[in-house]
Amino acid sequence: MSNIEKEIAELAHPELPNHNDEECLALAEKLMSQMTLKEKFGQLFQLAPSNANIEGLQWQETNDFNDLIKQGLVGSILSVADIKEIYQLQKTAVTQSRLGIPLFFGYDIIHGCHTGFPINLAMACSFEPKLIERVAQVMAFEASHNGITMTFSPMVDLVRDPRWGRVMESNGEDPYLNKLMGQAYVKGFQQDSLSSYNSIASCCKHFAAYGMVEAGREYNTVDMSERELRQYHLPGYKACLDAGASSIMTSFNIYNGVPATANKFLLRDILRNEWGYSGFTISDYTSSYEMLDHKTSANEREVAKQSILAGLDHEMVSTTYIKYLEELITANEVNEALINEACLRMLTFKYKSGLFDNPYKNIYANVDQYYLTNNSRQLAKEAAIKSIVLLKNDNQTLPLKPTTKIALVGPLGKTNELVGAWGGLVKNESCVTVYEGLVNQFGQANVQFAEGCNINDNDSSLFEQAYEVAKNSDVIVLAIGESQTMSGEAKSRAYLNIPGVQNELARKLKSLGKPIIAIVFAGRPLELEWYQNNVDAILFAWFLGSETGDSIADIVSGKANPSAKLAMSFPYTVGQVPVYYNQYKTGRPSATGKYSEFRSCYIDVPNYPLYSFGYGLSYSKFEYSNLQLSKKQISGKEKLVAKVTLTNTSSIDGVEVAQLYIECKSFSVVRPVRELKAIQKISLKAHESKELTFEIGANDLAYYNIDMEFTPEDTDYIIYIGGCSNANISDNFSYNS
């Protein structure tokens, strides 16, 4: 054992006091009274040792960033996950800096720390916030036993453009679902107390509207009306803050011409003044430096000034604060009170996190025992099963009988590269492949594999071999799609096709005339029209993480019944993008058929998506009937009660996600064609019926009106309930204030 290992083995983890907010504030204030100005700047800096560009720092004595830590010039550390390294950095801060202020350690734990859960967009398809909360708890447990204090999650950027590589990290296109999921992540990460040994702090991101980068191009411009911003995009962030998120990260994009990292409207007017948020703001990576590229700051000194004035507290990677804040204060260009405010937030957070009580609280010996446990794997499997969307299933092709002879064909059949982007510390080796899963379920003798082609090149030399394997089977299971590196940050695509020659492979196999089941992997919605028209069943598998193969096999064999619904619409073609269910009402809408050809339309594809938000099949069949409203009119704070009967008309037990949408019949501004307002996930035995009860009140009907007030107007509504955003069982009611 090395000395460090010995020291780590001796660390104790006694119960920590749970200071309330006032106590933390008072402790932070007291500490601040002993701090020099420089030490205060230090609390505003997050150092990334892997990208420590500390040249040109005023107080640099050596080239070693440990020196900065000793001088109290570092507040937190980014992306270090090695326990020994974390211990050493913390020890330096605590024992060698003048005031011994502990560092906090931030890391991107997005959909898994060591146990790989499905990508976030996939888990959003579960429509089950409780599941998300449980998943976040496991992520927090693994991360908090890996030296990590804070995760930069959840990402609640609302998305509509699958070309953007980061849709995989999102909760999809709907503001209501996004809110539910965002809150569930925050609750799961932080649990009841930040000082608990099992929780980590949550930093939601990217404030604001990063999901709307123009044309899906990474780091691109965002420009939209304030109404659009408030109605669709801000609620996700607000929900996370209401749930107690410790921090919020600014986005790379501009909003209304100003980079988000120095955007006073976002960071001060909305976040502090309107919402009264008291946690800290952090920039995204080098988003401060990037103001030089945006050309809104002429130099780093201006970056620092604009950012602190706008309300940025903590700089990630960029060093403009520790370089220039002192000079700006001396020149009377920045008021010291702003530095005090920011520093106070940082220290208050550290007190809340228990770091002053035990700076080594997240450091343990023999850590492997905490990771990838049977329980966490089991939850990963449950999450994966609940994320897989059944898009098509003609003639009950699925599930397959146990004796079916399967030809598994495709480049994703035997690979374990199934974690998905932003996989934290999850290893590919933890992932069960599709082949392994099918063999476990159907037996080695019943599963033949052929790769057929690679994911993304033009090589068709393996087609023949795949054809031969497929010839001898009862059914062809295609495992196709994107590689896990084709989505994520800076992974925008202009095409939404299944890449390489995979479509050609599918066409060739189609000529055999055998049933084909396509299992499609991707970090984004893809164009699937050919598959919809030509194969028998489609399972959309996203990236499912550690339990990929077993969860797919459970669904293919019928051990599990699919229940997921799309959290993001799938276009027919990239040319329709953005295409989403809750679009504004237009003049000459396509559906009415008025004005014959002169209406909102394409001449080559429909206006609507191939698969819309909320869509997803089950092996069971569900029917909605007998919608009854408690009243035809509600007033003031009264609630409308809607009851509907849901019946499983099939002989297979199943789970349905019932969705309630409203349509506003007239308002002072144009509203979406439909708005999701409630969901319920219900288990139904074969042939069972249940009566579902929903409640709708004024707040559900409210919208940013012509004067930008969030209010319900006195008007008429249609209520729709069903298993998809095009649910067609409906009734009318009106609201009167």
Q: Which residues of 431-455 are buried (b: 16+ CB within 10 A; e: fewer)?
A: bbbbbbbbbbbbeeebbbbbbbbbb
Determine, following the binding rule CB under 6 A, whether residue 218 of this chain makes contact with ligand BGC: no
125 C-beta neighbours (distance < 10 Å), count: 28
CB 500 within 8 A of CB 454: yes
Residues 69-88, one symbol each (x = binds ligand BGC by CB under 6 A, - = not), give ----------x---------
Q: Is residue 108 part of the contact set for ligand BGC (CB under 6 A)? A: yes
- Shortest approach of ligand BGC to residue 164 CB, angstroms? 12
Is 290 a residue that touches ligand BGC (CB under 6 A)? no
- In whole angstroms, give the CA distance from residue 317 to residue 322: 11
Question: Residue 21 Cβ, how far from ligand BGC at the closest point, in Å?
Answer: 26
Beta carbon nearer to ligand BGC, 493 or 565? 493
Comparing CB distances to ligand BGC, the nearer of 240 and 646 is 240
CB 483 within 8 A of CB 493: no
Distance (Å, whole) CA 186 – CA 240: 6
Question: Considering only residues 298-317, where is the footprint of ligand BGC by CB under 6 A?
Answer: none
The single-letter DSSP state of residue 666 is -
* Closest listed residue to residue 398, CA positions, set 564, 557, 620, 616: 557
Q: Which is nearer to ligand BGC, 167 or 477 (CB)?
A: 167
> Across the strands, what pairs with 17?
none
The least distance separating ligand BGC from the CB of residue 266, rounded to whole angstroms, comes to 16
Residue number, 285 or 694, with CB nearest to ligand BGC: 285
The strand pairing partners of 672, in sequence order, are 584
Other beta carbons within 10 angstroms of residue 5's beta carbon come to 13
Q: Tokens standing for 55?
A: 């040249």
284 touches ligand BGC (CB under 6 A)? yes
DSSP sequence for 469-514: HHHT-SEEEEEEE--GGGSSTT---S--SPPTTHHHHHHHHHTT--
Q: Counting contacts by CB under 6 A, is residue 527 touching ligand BGC?
A: no
Q: Contacts with ligand BGC in 593-652 (CB under 6 A)?
A: none
Question: Closest approach of Cβ 292 to ligand BGC, in Å?
Answer: 17
Which of the residues are catalytic?
284
Instruction: For residue 289, give Cα distances in angstroms to 21, 69, 283, 366.
Output: 33, 22, 10, 40
Tell me which of 285, 289, 467, 703 binds ligand BGC, using CB under 6 A: 285
For ligand BGC, the closer CB: 48 or 538: 48
Question: For the chain, how far is it from start to end, CA to CA, in angstroms?
Answer: 72
Q: How far is CA 448 from CA 83, 318, 464, 519, in A?
A: 43, 53, 15, 16
Strand partners, 711: 703
Residue number of the CB atom closest to ligand BGC: 152
| Contacts for 686 with CB less than 8 Å, ≥ 6 apart | 620, 648, 650, 651, 652, 653
In the list 205, 377, 491, 674, the residue contacting ligand BGC (rule: CB under 6 A) is 205
Please say which residue, 285 or 735, places its beta carbon nearer to ligand BGC: 285
What is the smallest separation between the CB atom of 375 and ligand BGC, expressed in angstroms?
28
Q: How far is the CB of 108 from ligand BGC (least distance, A)?
A: 5
Residue 221 CB: number of other CB atoms within 10 A?
Answer: 14
Q: State the Cα–Cα distance between residues 33 and 340, nearest whole angstrom.
A: 10
Q: Closest approach of Cβ 6 to ligand BGC, in Å?
A: 32
Residue 253 or residue 659: which is nearer to ligand BGC going by CB? Answer: 253
If you search the block for the tokens 């890996």, which residue do you land on?
Answer: 146
Residues in region 457-496 near ligand BGC by CB under 6 A: 489
Provide, rounded to whole angstroms, the least separation between the CB of residue 724 and ligand BGC: 31
Residue 326 CB neighbour total at 10 angstroms: 20
Residues 157-196 that bind ligand BGC (CB under 6 A): none
Q: How many residues bind ligand BGC (CB under 6 A)?
A: 7
Within 32-71, the residues that bind ligand BGC by CB under 6 A are none
Residue closer to ligand BGC (CB basis): 260 or 518: 260
For ligand BGC, the closer CB: 109 or 342:
109
- How would you class 14 by CB atoms within 10 Å of its CB: exposed for 0-12, middle for 13-18, buried for 19 or more? exposed
Taking the complex as a whole, how short is the minimal distance between the CB of residue 351 and ligand BGC, in angstroms? 24
Least separation in angstroms between CB 115 and ligand BGC:
20
- Residues 6 or more apart whose Cβ sits within 8 Å of residue 259: 253, 287, 290, 291, 294, 296
Give the residue with the Cβ less far from ligand BGC, 160 or 205.
Answer: 205
Among 152, 237, 521, 624, binds ligand BGC (CB under 6 A): 152
**Contact in structure between 251 and 205 (CB atoms under 8 Å):** yes
Which residues of the chain form contacts with ligand BGC (CB under 6 A)?
A: 79, 108, 152, 205, 284-285, 489
